[in-house]
Amino acid sequence: MVEGLLAPINLIIAALGVGFLLPLIARSSASIARGLFWLTQVFLLLISSVWLLRLIDGAPAVEVITAGIQPPFAINLYFGLFEAFVVSAVNLSAILGSWYLIDYFKSRAASMSVYLILTMGISGMVMTRDLFNLFIFIEITALATYGLLALDKRPASLAAGFKYIIATSLASTFFLLGTMLLYHLTGTLNIDDMLLHMDRITGPVGLAAGVLLLVGVIIELKPYPANGWGLDVYETVPAGVAAMISVGVSAGAFFALYKIVPLLGDFLPVVAAVGGATFLASNFIGLRQRNVRRMLGYSSVAQMGLMTLALAVLYMLGKSEYVTLVIGGLFINHLLAKAGLFWLAGVVDRPRTEAWVGLRHRPILLVILGILLAALAGFPPFPGFWGKWELIMQLSAGELPFWVFVVLLGSLLEAAYLYRWFGFALQDDETRAPAVEPVKLIPVGLFALSLLATGHLVADWLGLEAPRVLVPIYMGIILYALDGMPGRLKALLVLGAFAVYAYPVVMGLEGLHWLFGLILLLGGGVIAFAVLHRSDARRGFYPLLGMLLFSLASLLEASSTLEFFFAWEVLTLSSYLLISMGRGAREHILTFLMFSLGSAFLILAGFGFAYGETGSILLADLSKVEKSATLVFMLLTLGFLVKAGAAGLHVWLPGAYSEAEDDFSALLSAVVGKAAIFGLLLAAMHLAVNGVGAINQVLYVVSWLGLISALVGALMALFQEDVKKLLAYSSMGQVGYIVTAIAVSSQLGWVAAGYLTVNHLLFKGLLFLAVAGLVYQTGTRLMYQMGGLIKNLPMTYISVLIGIIAISGVPPLTGFGGKWLLLNALFDKGWYWQAGLAFFASAVAFLYLFRLIHTVFLGQRKQAHKDLREASWLLLFPQILLIVAIMAFSIWPKLLIDPIASSFAGIFPEALIWDGTMLKTRLGYWDGFMVINIVAGVFLVPLLILLFLSRFMQIQKVKQFNIVFAAERPETPETTHYAYNFFSFYEKALGPLLKPRATAFWDGVSEWSHTIGSTLRVLYTGNGQTYALYVLFYVVMIYIAVGGMG
């Protein structure tokens, strides 16, 4: 009995039966009708999910042929694992979607039956193996969709519905014609039988049959440009219905395509092109879209395009075994995320993206939106991430670089408009926080959780050490659950957990990884300690901080490119969210995310082509790449250079570093930025050391790029009034030297790179933390509003002083060693011009360093700052640790250089020779220990003399304004403190050289992308007749394309 009830055929029978009964029952009792409606939905979900579980357990697939009659007159169903999966997903979306339609159904009883029939139609499209059946189910689905639209009874819905029905009728007509011709050729309507007789589908008739069948299904998937009719629908109908159309109907249509793809062997390139064009064009157009629903519509269409592309390409390459992972991943990702987003759009009910301001004050809503968007944008751990990863791998392995480009570009564009929207949601405006009933969030929250869960399942299924890869995510979730605790307690918890986790990780590493283990994890821990200085709860901050810190550990533990990329993306996402917490960050986070994703995609492509050649995703196997080594190296290097803020690619950096919260800026610049250096070294170690292909030329270009960054960073830093922007540009410049040092590709170069990296970590962490304290005390970031603060914040002053000496390269502190190693490396390599530029850039750096310390700490103090106090000791403590490290490395450079050299041991010929404390290269020598002693001597002796003389003098401490002032009396600090526009003469001297060219260029890129979007959008006239015409043209085009191929 129970077994009979659970038969898959009941998916059709129950829905259809109840669907027809409902209007009748509703006449007598609306509540019974509603009860029955819900019951049916639960029943449908029950059947499909029970079968799904059984099939997962290995039960055989079910084949159903009704009424003892052969198809086409009977219904022919096949219920395998994929079918069960899709049908369950669709039923689940349907039932949860109707949660949002309760009010809608109350006023329109008939729509409940249409809704059920729609669900049934989709299930039928998924399950049937018979082409004629498929036609029927397509028609049922289309009609039901139209019915839902029409029952809405608003003019806009009616118009949209009308366009919809015209287009879909055209499509199903073609489909029917195609089916007819195939039947003529093969004598069967069953897809499996047809596959057995593929040889008969030839000649002009075969071609026509295939084309008609294909377009019939493809049109249903709303390909660009024949999709204007589909997009209006998303905008007009209630959110629940829109979600059902976006995920349910599309799923059915896509599954239909999946079924007929084997019949279409020769047409696959055309199918791929159709998908790719749709994916790209829809995402371009999405950029122009400010209406949430319509934007999601474009995203839906784009996702379908991507899946179409993926399906076609996988079959073309004969890699159909990856369909499960790629298509399955993308499908479930799209289904959960897009349905969730449509629902959310309905719940919040603000049509324009810019109206979503204030969501930040509804944490749960924001987290849900964040998860859904992250999933859609392909971030880990969500299933889309795994799908996209495998797709790129297979595309690269199949030597289809063009499609790799299309997929990545399209994904980038999609992320752009989705995250622009998210940017509005992050805006701080409490008055505009939406009021939402918590009940309404249950289904969408459930889907958000399901996304996390499926992400985990996929990782598990792929045989990854899922717990290890996912640790950062788990940390984020656990800490989020504990977010109600007091701020400092959470901070201690994060730091403690990180220490416990990171210690064995670092101990287990060796070589380059060990070195960066210390830099990223130990350095990260020390600098992150500063978060303790704030006692407020900082909702959301600590979970993300945990995610960020743990992802650094994952990055180091990664043994495969997949794990590396996973950690890299988690790092990107968590830094993005952390930056977004800064008050003024809103304008800059999108730029940050775009460049980070651009970088990630370049890296992904690089890993892809490496996999393409070696068939391995192990990081260690990168060194086996030969043929495409130059390409892979270029892609990886470019990707990491974006994150390193190389000149031209740096436009994201100043905004992000300066607008993040003050203590997080330190972590971002000093530690997170070093992940890019790790990546660069990793890529260089595996690919560049052998110097195959044109890699040496690439390195040569990179060496210039690094130093140009050093110069540009230094020059830009000169003209900043904002102290954090100054440091941000300084970071860009200093990392430039590291990049060049890596490009030298010799023992000297790499030791220089390691040394400079550690040094940058120390002094930039120190400076950013010092500035954090400063900003915290003064409440401003503008340097000309400060001045004379040495008397109020002496410890902070010492930090800044040590920091700037360590940057500048003045002996005897650590900076000199870095410059010495770098210049020796450049001379040794014969890169003399670069050496000149390095010198010049470091001289220019002096200017901003002086400005930093002078305008803030020296000169005249503002009256308002008279009673300022020193920064918190909790903020000063990590600074003291960093100062101790700087001093120790200054006195004993060997302490630093030896471990660095040993972590690169054996890669290059030895070029550094130790002679006691003396370090020698082919060209020069330097004894750091002796230098610091001599300097101490020549400093202390005059100091003692002066102190001695002072004993006989009356030293009088004078007040602020007691200065020789050309016979005038100085008035206020504002007029007496030389701080604003400090280097105006430099600007005058260099003039046009300082124009922000990179910003202008990238603004141009954004402008062009939007223009492309507008141009592509011109086709959407809103006119039903035009749309119908497009459909016809489209069919002709496909026919020509396919015929042309034959």
Partner 1 sequence: MEFWAVKIGYFLITLGMVTVYGLLLGAIIARTMARVQGRIGIPYWQPFLDIIKNLGKRTAVSHGVMFYMGPVFRIAGGIGTLAFVPVIYGSEMFSNFHFAGDLLLAMYFIFFGQLGMALGAGESGHPFSAIGVARGLGQMTAFELPFVLAIIAVVIQYDTLSITEIVAAQQGGVSNWTLFTNPLAVAAAMLAFLGMSGYPPFDVFTAPNEIPIGPPTEYHSSFLALMATNRAIFASAKLILFMDLFFGGATGLIEMIIKTWAIYMVAVVVGASFPRFRVDQSIRFFLRVPTLIGIASIAFVQIFLLG
Name beta bridge partners: 51. Answer: none
Kind plus residue range of the DSSP H or E element containing 541: helix 541-557
> Which is closer to partner 1, CB of 488 or CB of 894?
894
Give the C-alpha distances (Å, rounded to integers) separating 631 from 332, 454, 564, 569. Answer: 33, 34, 19, 22
Instruction: Tell the smallest beta-carbon distance from residue 740 to partner 1 (Å).
Output: 15
Using CB under 8 A as the binding rule, whether residue 891 contacts partner 1 is answered as no
> Which is closer to partner 1, CB of 750 or CB of 857?
857
Stretch near partner 1 under the rule CB under 8 A, chosen from 587-595, 765-773, 875-883, 921-929: 921-929
CA atoms of 178 and 214, how far apart (whole Å) = 8
> Which is closer to partner 1, CB of 642 or CB of 798?
798
User: Binding residue for partner 1 (CB under 8 A) from 716, 805, 897, 901?
Assistant: 805
Give the C-alpha distances (Å, rounded to integers) separating 389 from 633, 885, 992. Answer: 19, 41, 44
Instruction: Tell the smallest beta-carbon distance from residue 809 to partner 1 (Å).
Output: 5
Q: Report the sign of the C-alpha dihedral through residues 414, 415, 420, 423, in that order.
A: positive
> Which is closer to partner 1, CB of 685 or CB of 931?
931
Give the C-alpha distances (Å, rounded to integers) separating 397 from 318, 501, 601, 753. Answer: 12, 36, 16, 33
Using CB under 8 A as the binding rule, whether residue 977 contacts partner 1 is answered as yes
Structure tokens at 391: 């797709």
Residues 982-1011 contacting partner 1, CB under 8 A:
982-983, 985-986, 988-990
Residues 47-106 contacting partner 1, CB under 8 A:
none
User: Binding residue for partner 1 (CB under 8 A) from 923, 1000, 1036, 1045?
Assistant: 923
Mask: binding to partner 1, 626-665, rule CB under 8 A, as x and -?
----------------------------------------
Mask: binding to partner 1, 667-706, rule CB under 8 A, as x and -?
----------------------------------------
Kindly provide the b/e burial profile for residues 153-164, where b requires at least 16 CB atoms within 10 angstroms of the residue's own CB: eeeebeebbbbb
Residues 203-222 contacting partner 1, CB under 8 A:
none
CB atoms within 10 A of CB 367: 15
Residues 844-883 contacting partner 1, CB under 8 A:
844, 846-847, 850-851, 853-854, 857-860
CA atoms of 208 and 230, how far apart (whole Å) = 26
> Which is closer to partner 1, CB of 57 or CB of 915?
915
> Which is closer to partner 1, CB of 338 or CB of 819?
819
> Which is closer to partner 1, CB of 204 or CB of 942?
942
Instruction: Tell the smallest beta-carbon distance from residue 947 to partner 1 (Å).
Output: 9
> Which is closer to partner 1, CB of 226 or CB of 835?
835
Stretch near partner 1 under the rule CB under 8 A, chosen from 261-269, 544-552, 613-621, 836-844: 836-844
Stretch near partner 1 under the rule CB under 8 A, chosen from 299-307, 444-452, 668-676, 826-834: 826-834
> Which is closer to partner 1, CB of 989 or CB of 1036?
989
Instruction: Tell the smallest beta-carbon distance from residue 972 to partner 1 (Å).
Output: 12
Instruction: Tell the smallest beta-carbon distance from residue 470 to partner 1 (Å).
Output: 48
> Which is closer to partner 1, CB of 453 or CB of 944?
944
Instruction: Tell the smallest beta-carbon distance from residue 792 to partner 1 (Å).
Output: 12
Instruction: Tell the smallest beta-carbon distance from residue 796 to partner 1 (Å).
Output: 14
> Which is closer to partner 1, CB of 624 or CB of 854?
854
Using CB under 8 A as the binding rule, whether residue 806 contacts partner 1 is answered as no
Stretch near partner 1 under the rule CB under 8 A, chosen from 71-79, 156-164, 210-218, 788-796: 788-796
Structure tokens at 533: 């200085």
Residue with tokens 């595996």: 686
Using CB under 8 A as the binding rule, whether residue 791 contacts partner 1 is answered as yes
Beta-carbon contacts of residue 311 (< 8 Å; ≥ 6 apart): 254, 257, 258, 261, 271, 275, 323, 327
Instruction: Tell the smallest beta-carbon distance from residue 723 to partner 1 (Å).
Output: 16
CA atoms of 118 and 46, how far apart (whole Å) = 18
CA atoms within 13 A on the CB side of 372: 29
Beta-carbon contacts of residue 884 (< 8 Å; ≥ 6 apart): none
Classified as helix, coil or strand, 536 is: coil
Using CB under 8 A as the binding rule, whether residue 810 contacts partner 1 is answered as yes
Instruction: Tell the smallest beta-carbon distance from residue 883 to partner 1 (Å).
Output: 17
How remote is the C-alpha of 703 from its chain's centroid?
28
Stretch near partner 1 under the rule CB under 8 A, chosen from 239-247, 463-471, 518-526, 801-809: 801-809
CA atoms of 1046 and 1036, how far apart (whole Å) = 15
Counted residue by residue, the chain has a size of 1046
CA atoms of 543 and 679, how far apart (whole Å) = 25
How remote is the C-alpha of 491 from its chain's centroid?
26
User: What does DSSP assign to residue 63?
Assistant: E
Using CB under 8 A as the binding rule, whether residue 719 contacts partner 1 is answered as no
Stretch near partner 1 under the rule CB under 8 A, chosen from 121-129, 453-461, 538-546, 812-820: 812-820
In degrees and rounded to multiples of 5, residue 16 shows phi and psi of: -65, -45
Using CB under 8 A as the binding rule, whether residue 446 contacts partner 1 is answered as no
CA atoms of 558 and 566, how far apart (whole Å) = 9
Using CB under 8 A as the binding rule, whether residue 892 contacts partner 1 is answered as no
Instruction: Tell the smallest beta-carbon distance from residue 565 to partner 1 (Å).
Output: 40
User: Binding residue for partner 1 (CB under 8 A) from 161, 811, 1013, 1024?
Assistant: 811
Beta-carbon contacts of residue 440 (< 8 Å; ≥ 6 apart): 99, 100, 347
How many positions of this chain bind partner 1 (CB under 8 A)?
75
> Which is closer to partner 1, CB of 483 or CB of 927?
927
Beta-carbon contacts of residue 875 (< 8 Å; ≥ 6 apart): 530, 533, 663, 769, 772, 773, 776
Strand-pair category, 76-79 with 62-65: antiparallel
Residue with tokens 């622009």: 420
> Which is closer to partner 1, CB of 4 or CB of 830?
830
Residue with tokens 């199949």: 398
408, 601 Cβ separation under 8 angstroms: yes
For residue 871, give the nearest of 767, 782, 793, 797 by alpha carbon: 793
> Which is closer to partner 1, CB of 917 or CB of 1006?
917
Using CB under 8 A as the binding rule, whether residue 832 contacts partner 1 is answered as yes
Instruction: Tell the smallest beta-carbon distance from residue 941 to partner 1 (Å).
Output: 8
Structure tokens at 372: 């859904």
CB atoms within 10 A of CB 346: 22
> Which is closer to partner 1, CB of 162 or CB of 700?
700
> Which is closer to partner 1, CB of 177 or CB of 858?
858
> Which is closer to partner 1, CB of 507 or CB of 993?
993
| Helices 747-778 and 794-808: angle between axes, nearest 10 degrees | 160
Instruction: Tell the smallest beta-carbon distance from residue 348 to partner 1 (Å).
Output: 53
Stretch near partner 1 under the rule CB under 8 A, chosen from 379-387, 615-623, 808-816, 881-889: 808-816
CB atoms within 10 A of CB 21: 15
CA dihedral 661, 415, 674, 528 (to 10 degrees): 30
Residue with tokens 């036609």: 135
Beta-carbon contacts of residue 389 (< 8 Å; ≥ 6 apart): 562, 565, 604
Instruction: Tell the smallest beta-carbon distance from residue 853 to partner 1 (Å).
Output: 7
> Which is closer to partner 1, CB of 431 or CB of 954?
954
Residues 925-964 contacting partner 1, CB under 8 A:
925-927, 930-931, 934-935, 937-939, 942-943, 946, 949-950, 952-958, 960-964
Using CB under 8 A as the binding rule, whether residue 840 contacts partner 1 is answered as yes
